[in-house]
């Protein structure tokens, strides 16, 4: 269900909106293979009418389900946009779409969530990735050093007659 408010309700006083937007409503799962939004986004917003615009501000809280770009382990990435704000002009070229005196905040929330996506998600800043896991197992005490699998793969490819 989208986050919609009626402009007529702003004539008397500011609106306080609190609740959740389902993750499916924001449609951000197809944007990144390593970052998914599967739980609802919580919002606590105040909507106020200005002279020729509407100002929405408050807090957005969500948790991304990520896969580490180095080791491919799943992990949670919580995010809290505490000072989220959106200025919606009611006149002019950049005027917000008003349907039956109602405005939908969902596209604006979606845009800011997409901008907050982790660009290179890491489970830990010092994650050594899959290669680090392999090096640790190669150097375990009591085992002989193994040949580098990358060079072995190249050696096999060099044998091909193309």
| pLDDT score of 56 more than 90 | yes
Question: What's residue 33's pLDDT?
Answer: 86
Contacts of 152 (CB under 8 A, 6+ apart): none
CA separation for the pair 92, 85 (Å, rounded): 20
- Grade residue 108 by pLDDT with cuts at 50, 70 and 90: very high
Q: Please indicate, yes or no, if residue 107 is contained in any of the structural domains.
A: yes
- Tell me the residue range of the domain where 62 lies: 4-129
Q: Please indicate, yes or no, if residue 81 is contained in any of the structural domains.
A: yes
Question: What's residue 132's pLDDT?
Answer: 52
- Grade residue 27 by pLDDT with cuts at 50, 70 and 90: confident
Q: Please indicate, yes or no, if residue 134 is contained in any of the structural domains.
A: no
Verdict on whether the full-model pTM lies above 0.85:
no
Tokens 């830990």, residue located: 124
**Token pair for residue 61?**
């809280």
CA separation for the pair 72, 74 (Å, rounded): 6
Torsional sign, CA 116, 119, 121, 124: negative
CA separation for the pair 24, 64 (Å, rounded): 13
Q: Please indicate, yes or no, if residue 143 is contained in any of the structural domains.
A: no
> Which is more confident, 130 or 135?
130
Number of domains in the chain: 1
Judge contact between 22 and 11, C-beta under 8 A. no
- Grade residue 159 by pLDDT with cuts at 50, 70 and 90: confident
Q: Please indicate, yes or no, if residue 140 is contained in any of the structural domains.
A: no
**Token pair for residue 86?**
């959106």
Average pLDDT over residues 113-117: 88
- List, as one string, the DSSP characters of 62-111: EEEEEE-TTT--EEEEEEEEEEEEEEEESSSTTPPP-BTTEEE-HHHHHH
- Grade residue 131 by pLDDT with cuts at 50, 70 and 90: low
Question: What's residue 62's pLDDT?
Answer: 93
- Grade residue 129 by pLDDT with cuts at 50, 70 and 90: confident
Q: Please indicate, yes or no, if residue 47 is contained in any of the structural domains.
A: yes
Q: Please indicate, yes or no, if residue 152 is contained in any of the structural domains.
A: no
Average pLDDT score over the chain? 85
Tokens 């969902």, residue located: 106
Judge contact between 36 and 26, C-beta under 8 A. no
Q: Please indicate, yes or no, if residue 52 is contained in any of the structural domains.
A: yes
pLDDT tens-digit readout, 65-77: 999 988 989 999 9
């Amino acid at each position: 269900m989208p986050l919609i408010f009626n402009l007529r309700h702003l004539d008397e006083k500011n609106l306080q909106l609190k609740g959740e937007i389902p993750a499916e409503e924001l449609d951000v799962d197809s944007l990144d293979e390593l970052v998914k939004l599967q739980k609802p986004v919580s919002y606590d917003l105040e909507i106020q009418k200005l002279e020729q615009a509407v100002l929405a501000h408050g807090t957005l809280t969500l948790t991304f389900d990520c896969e580490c770009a180095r080791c491919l382990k799943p992990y949670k990435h919580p995010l809290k946009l505490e000072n989220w704000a959106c200025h919606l002009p009611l006149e002019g070229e950049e005027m917000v779409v008003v349907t039956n005196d109602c405005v939908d905040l969902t596209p604006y929330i979606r845009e800011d969530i997409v901008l907050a996506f982790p660009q290179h998600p890491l489970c830990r800043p010092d994650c050594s990735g899959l290669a680090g896991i392999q090096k640790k197992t190669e150097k375990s005490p009591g085992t002989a050093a193994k040949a580098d699998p990358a060079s072995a793969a190249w050696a096999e490819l060099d044998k091909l007659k193309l």
